[in-house]
Amino acid sequence: MKQVKIGIIGLGARGVVLLPSIALISGVEIAAVCDAYPERVERYLELCKKHGYTPAIATGDYKKVLEQDLDAVIVSTTWTTHVQIAVDAMRAGKHVGLEVGGATCEQDCWRLVETSQETGKFCMMLENCCYGDSELTVFNMVQQGLFGEIVHATGGYEHDLREQIVTGGERKHGRMVNFLHRNGELYPTHQLGPIAKLMGINRGNRIVSVISAASKARGLHDWARRNRPGTDLAEADWKEGDVVTTILICANGETIVLTHGCSLPRPYSRDGRVQGTLGMWMEDKDAIYLEENVPQDGSNPDGEHEWTPMAEYKKQYRHPLWKEYEAKGIEKRGHNDMDYLVLCAFIESVREGNPPIDVYDTAVWMAVTYLSEQSIAMGGAPVPMPDFTCGAWINREAERPSKYALSSVYGELFGDTEEKNENY
Amino acid sequence: MKQVKIGIIGLGARGVVLLPSIALISGVEIAAVCDAYPERVERYLELCKKHGYTPAIATGDYKKVLEQDLDAVIVSTTWTTHVQIAVDAMRAGKHVGLEVGGATCEQDCWRLVETSQETGKFCMMLENCCYGDSELTVFNMVQQGLFGEIVHATGGYEHDLREQIVTGGERKHGRMVNFLHRNGELYPTHQLGPIAKLMGINRGNRIVSVISAASKARGLHDWARRNRPGTDLAEADWKEGDVVTTILICANGETIVLTHGCSLPRPYSRDGRVQGTLGMWMEDKDAIYLEENVPQDGSNPDGEHEWTPMAEYKKQYRHPLWKEYEAKGIEKRGHNDMDYLVLCAFIESVREGNPPIDVYDTAVWMAVTYLSEQSIAMGGAPVPMPDFTCGAWINREAERPSKYALSSVYGELFGDTEEKNENY
C-alpha cells in the first residue's frame, strides 16, 4: 500500500482532535505541521511523538509546508483563512482536506473549484457528519428505498458554546470574531453534508436557492453579563442571531431546513430529519417511522403514531462501514468515530483519486454561509445558489465505486437515471 | 350566572367533536344548529338530544340562525367559508367563535377586524393549542422568567392525513380541495396560537414579515396511486407541498418557524419548541432544559446535555387551569381537553367581553396562510404582515384579568412595559 505523506496546517483544538484518528489509519506519514502560534507547534510535536510520527518540518509559515514533497494537506486553521491556503496547496500539487469554515463570498468558492479543475488536485470538506452512525444507517435505508422518494430534510448545528465563543478559549477566538461581526448560517457543513449526499446534490440534483432568517442576538450578551460582569465582554455587541434558520430549495423540489444555534442554553443536537413518501427518521427521537410497519389489519388503529427506536433498525440496516468499524473494536479507543471514517475516506482518495466529497460539494456547502448572510441582510429574500458545476450536475457520473463512496447508488436513488449513468 | 345562547354553524366532524366539550360547560344553551347537508343536521339533533339540548332551529341556511336571539355562534364550516359567515354574524349582533381556516386574502382579515370594531362583537379563533397542557405549562414557566428572554420558537401541524385528504372522508373534501389547489401554510393557527401569546403578538410585539417555502408534492399522489389505483384520485395533481416551512419575523426580533405537513407518513407532532436565554422546551423530547439546573460545581461536566422530562416540571409549574381541570376528574370523560378549555374561555368571554384571543389575533394567525401562499409563489420572497391593529399593538393593554386570560402578565413578559400598561 502506498505510503501517504501529509501535512497538517492549523494545530488548534481541531488539529489536536484529528491526530488520534489519523494515527489509526495505516500507511500515513505526518511529514509537516504548521501553526501561527509556536506553543501549539511545540505541543503538537509532542503529540506526534506519542503517536510515532516525526514531522520533517514544523513551522509557522504554511508556504514552507507547501514546498515539501507531500501528497496532501489538512487545513484546520481559523474559519476565514482556509480558502487561500487550500488554493495555494492545490497549486503546489497537494490534495486538500478542509476543516470547517463557511465561505465569506462567492468568489472564494469559485477559486476552490477552478483551482481544483486546473491542478487536478481535489479539495474535500472533512467537517461534516456524512459518516455518522445514524446518518449512514439512514443513508443505507434510503438507498434501499425504505423511505420512498425523499422530499424534505432538516439538519442543524445546535450546540451551547457560549463560554467558548465569549471567552475565545482554546480556539483563540475563531468563533468569537465571527459571532461578533457576522450574521448567518456559520456552520452549514456539519449536517448539510449527509443531507446533500442523500439528495444527490451535484449529481442529478442541486441547491437552487437559499432563504435565511436570524433571531435577535441575546444569548451571548446575557451570558457575558452574568458570567463576566464588569469586563468589555459584558458589553460586546454580538451580531450573530441566536437561532438562524435557513431554507434550501433543490432543483428536484426537495426542501432542506438548517438550524444554527450556538448561543443559547440547550443540549446538543444535529436536528436530523429525513422525510420521504414511505417513512421518516428523526434524530431527536432517535427513531424511525416506516409506513410499512403499521399493521394494516386494524389491530393497531393508533399504530401510525408509533416511532420505532433507531436501535431496532440498526440491527438490520447499519452501514457496512460501521459494522466493520465496530468489529475492529477501535470504537473503544475513544476518538471521534466520524472523524476516523472521513479521514479514512480522505486517505483512500489521496491514494486512488475521486473523493466521495469533492470540490463541488465543498463549494456548495461552504457557499451556504455567505448566501445566508446575504439573505438575512435583505430581510430573508431568496438568493440564488451558483451552479459551481456549470451544468455538469445534470449528468455527473456517480462516484468511483469505493468502500467510502457516498453516492454510488445514485442510479437507484434518483429513478430514471439509467441514461445518466451509462458511463458508470 | 347568565345563560349563554349559542348557535353552531357547520356540523361536520369538527362540530361533532365540540359537542361533548360544550356539554360540560354549565349555563350554555345550544339554540340553533345549521349545516348545508341535511343528514348532518339530523345526526346533530340526535347528538344534541343525548346531551340534553333541544335547538329551537335546525336549518341549512346560516342566515336563519343569525336571525335568532343568540349571544354567539360557533363557525365550524369548511375552511374558506368562515369569514363571510363570521362577518354576517357580527353584523347580526353575535359574538363569533371560529374554527380553523387560514385566510385566502388580506381583505378577508380586514373585514373581520373592521366588522368587529364597528359592531363591538368579538371574533375569537377557537382552533389553536393555547390551552394544551404542555403549552400552558411552558407559558406558565415563561411568565415566571424561567426561560429568560424568549428569542425563538417553532410549531407545526404535522399529521399524516393522507387517506382523509385523498378520499375526502367525513370532512366532505374540506381538506381535499385546499390541497388540490393551494400551496402554503394551510393550518397555522394550531401552534402559532400559543407561540403568539407567549411572544405578546398584538400586545407589545407583532409579526412583521412572513417567508415560506414548500417541498414538492409527492405524498398524496404516491398514496393514492398505491391505495386507489385506477381511479381519478390516483392521477390527481396535488398542489400543496408535502412539507411547508414558514418563518415569521417579529418586531421584537424573535423568529418563529412553522412546519405544515399532512401528506407524508409520520407520527403526529406539533413540533413545539421555545428557546430563551435561560432555557428551552422541546415537545418532541417531551422535555425541558434549564441552564440553572446544570450543576456548576464541575460534578457533572456533561450536564449541559441532559434534558429533564416535562413530567418533572409539571409537578411544580402545571398551569392552575390544568390543575383544576384534572382535579375535576373530567379528563376521564374522553373529550378533547384543549377544546374544553378554549370553549370555557369563549363562553366566559361571551358573558364578560374582552376575549383572550381577539379579532386581531384571529386576523394575524389566519393571515399567515395567504402570506405563505404569496411567499411560496414568489420563490420564498419575504412578504409583509399587515398591522391589523393600525399601530395600537405598541401600547395595547393587557387582557382583562381572567381565569382564562392568556397575556395578563404582559408587563412581566416584556420588560420595560410599565409605562405601556399604565392604563391597566
- What is the number of residues in chain A? 424
Chain A contact for B208 (CB, 8 A cutoff): no
Q: Residues of chain B with pLDDT > 70: what percent?
A: 91
Residue B123 to chain A, least CA–CA distance (Å):
31
By Cβ distance, the residue of A149, A152, A160 closest to B304 is A160
Residue A174 φ then ψ, to 5°: -55, -50
- Chain B CA closest to residue A222: B277
Contact A253 B215 (CB under 8 A): yes
Query: Residue A380 and residue B211: Cβ atoms within 8 Å?
Result: yes
Looking at residues B284-298, what average pLDDT do you find? 82
For residue A293, the distance in angstroms to the closest alpha carbon of chain B comes to 11
Put simply, the answer to whether B216 touches A379 (Cβ < 8 Å) is no
* ipTM score assigned to the predicted complex: 0.93
- Higher pLDDT among residues A269 and B412, named by residue: A269
Domain boundaries for CATH 3.30.360.10 within chain A: 132-319+358-423
Q: What is the Cα–Cα distance from B359 to B365, expressed in whole angstroms?
A: 10
A382 vs B218, B266, B380: nearest CB: B380
Q: Which residues of chain B neighbour A266 with C-beta distances below 8 Å?
A: 275, 280, 289
Residues A48 and A38: their CA atoms lie apart, in Å, by 15
pLDDT at residue B173, as a whole number:
67
Going by C-alpha positions, the residue among B211, B191, B9, B170 that lies closest to residue B97 is B9
| Least confident range of A36-50, A185-199, A297-311, B357-371 | A297-311
pLDDT of amino acid B413: 33
> If you count them, how many residues does chain B have?
424
Contact call for A211 and B211, based on CB within 8 A: yes
d(CA A273, CA A310): 13
3-state secondary structure of A7: strand
d(CA A219, CA B276): 8
How far does A31 lie from chain B, in Å, by closest CA?
A: 36
Q: Are A273 and A153 in contact (CB under 8 A)?
A: yes
pLDDT at position B171, please?
56
Q: Strand, coil or helix: what is A203?
A: coil
Q: How confident is residue B76, by pLDDT bands cut at 50, 70 and 90?
A: very high
Cβ of B243 within 8 Å of Cβ of A265? The answer is no
Is B332 a residue whose pLDDT tops 80? no
Q: Please report the pLDDT score of residue A416 as a whole number.
A: 39
Q: What is the least distance, in Å, from the CA of A402 to any CA of chain B?
A: 32
CB contact under 8 A, B222 and A282: no
Question: Are the Cβ atoms of A265 and B252 closer than 8 angstroms?
Answer: no
pLDDT at position A378 is 98
- Judge whether residue B114 has pLDDT over 50: yes
> Are residues B346 and B122 in contact, defined by beta-carbon separation less than 8 angstroms?
no
> So what's the architecture of A4-129 in CATH?
3-Layer(aba) Sandwich (3.40)
Confidence check: pLDDT of B125 > 90: yes
Q: Does B300 touch chain A (CB under 8 A)?
A: no
Judged by CB atoms closer than 8 Å, whether chains meet at B265 and A306 is answered as no
**Is residue A253 less than 8 Å (CB to CB) from chain B?**
yes
DSSP annotation of A25 reads: S
Please say if the pLDDT value at position B329 is more than 80.
no
* A392 Cβ contact partners less than 8 Å away, ≥ 6 residues apart: none
Q: Measuring CA to CA, which residue among A39, A38, A41, A50 is closest to residue A7?
A: A41
How far is the C-alpha of B219 from the C-alpha of B242, rounded, in Å?
6
Kindly tell me if the per-residue pLDDT of B422 is higher than 50: no
Q: How confident is the model at residue B299 (pLDDT cuts 50, 70, 90)?
A: low
Q: Is the pLDDT of residue B271 over 70?
A: yes
For residue B214, list chain A residues with Cβ-Cβ distance below 8 A.
255
Which residues of chain B are within 8 Å of residue A302 when distances are taken between CB atoms? Answer: none
Cβ within 8 Å, pair A209-B245? no
268-297 in A: which are within 8 Å (CB) of B?
268, 275-280, 282, 284-285, 289-291, 294
Q: Which of A149, A216, A380 sits opposite B222 (nearest CB)?
A: A149
Q: Establish if B207 touches chain A: CB-CB under 8 angstroms.
A: no
Q: Cβ(B93)–Cβ(B73) under 8 Å?
A: no
Q: Region A277-285: what's the mean pLDDT?
A: 97
Residues of chain A contacting B255 with CB distance shorter than 8 Å: 213-215, 241, 243, 245
Of the listed ranges A305-314, B166-175, B242-251, B364-373, the one predicted with least confidence: B166-175
Q: For the full predicted model, state whether its pTM sits above 0.90.
A: yes
> Range(s) for CATH 3.40.50.720 in chain B?
4-129
CB contact under 8 A, A243 and B219: no
CB A236 within 8 A of CB A221: yes
pLDDT score, position B416: 39
Q: CA-nearest residue of chain A to B378?
A: A382
**B158: chain A residues, CB-CB within 8 Å:** none
The pLDDT, as a whole number, for residue B255 is 98
Closest CB from A151, A284, A380 relative to B209: A380
| A326 pLDDT tier (thresholds 50, 70, 90) | confident
Cβ count near B216 (within 10 Å): 19
pLDDT value of residue B421 = 38
Instruction: Tell which B residues from 102 to 131 touch A, by Cβ distance under 8 Å.
Output: none
Do residues A73 and A4 make contact, with C-beta atoms less than 8 angstroms apart?
A: no
Percentage of residues in chain B with pLDDT exceeding 90? 78
Class of residue B55 by CB neighbours under 10 A (exposed 0-12, middle 13-18, buried 19+): buried
- At A204 the pLDDT is 94
pLDDT band at B400 (very low <50, low <70, confident <90, very high): confident
Closest to B342 measured CA to CA, from B361, B315, B329, B327: B361
Is B222's CB within 8 Å of A277's CB?
Answer: yes
What is the structure's pLDDT at A329?
73
Identify which has the larger pLDDT, A100 or A146. A146
Of A323-337, B103-117, B276-290, B360-374, give the lowest mean pLDDT range.
Answer: A323-337
Q: How far is CA B357 from CA A232, B96, B194, B221, B346, in A?
A: 44, 11, 10, 37, 9
Cross-chain residue pair B218–A151, CB shorter than 8 Å: yes
Closest CA to A264 of B192, B274, B286, B309: B274
A132-319+358-423 maps to CATH 3.30.360.10: yes
CA distance A291 to chain B (A): 6
Percent of chain A at pLDDT > 90 equals 78
pLDDT (tens digit, 9 = 90+) per residue, B209-263?
Answer: 999 999 999 999 999 999 999 998 899 999 999 999 999 999 999 999 999 999 9
Q: Do B243 and A277 make contact, defined as CB atoms within 8 angstroms?
A: no
Q: How many CB pairs under 8 A join A and B?
A: 154
Look at residue A83 and tell me whether its pLDDT is greater than 90. Answer: yes
> Using a CB-CB distance cutoff of 8 angstroms, which residues of chain A are in contact with residue B247?
211, 213, 245, 247, 380
From B264, B277, B280, residue closest to A277, measured CB to CB? B264
pLDDT tens, position by position, A233-273 = 899 999 999 999 999 999 999 999 999 999 999 999 999 99
Q: Do B243 and A255 touch (CB under 8 A)?
A: yes
Average pLDDT, rounded, for chain A: 90
Q: Quick check: A170 pLDDT over 70? A: no
Q: Which residue of B275, B292, B375 is the best one to mutate when testing the A interface, meaning the one whose CB has the most A CBs within 10 A?
A: B275
- Residue A332 predicted with pLDDT over 90: no
List A residues 357-416 in contact with B (Cβ-Cβ < 8 A).
Answer: 379-382
Q: How far is A308 from chain B (nearest CA, A)?
A: 11
Tell whether A305 is within 8 A of chain B (Cβ).
yes
Q: Model confidence over B44-71: pLDDT tens digits?
A: 999 999 999 999 999 999 999 999 999 9
Q: Is the pLDDT of residue A230 over 60?
A: yes
Res A290: pLDDT:
95
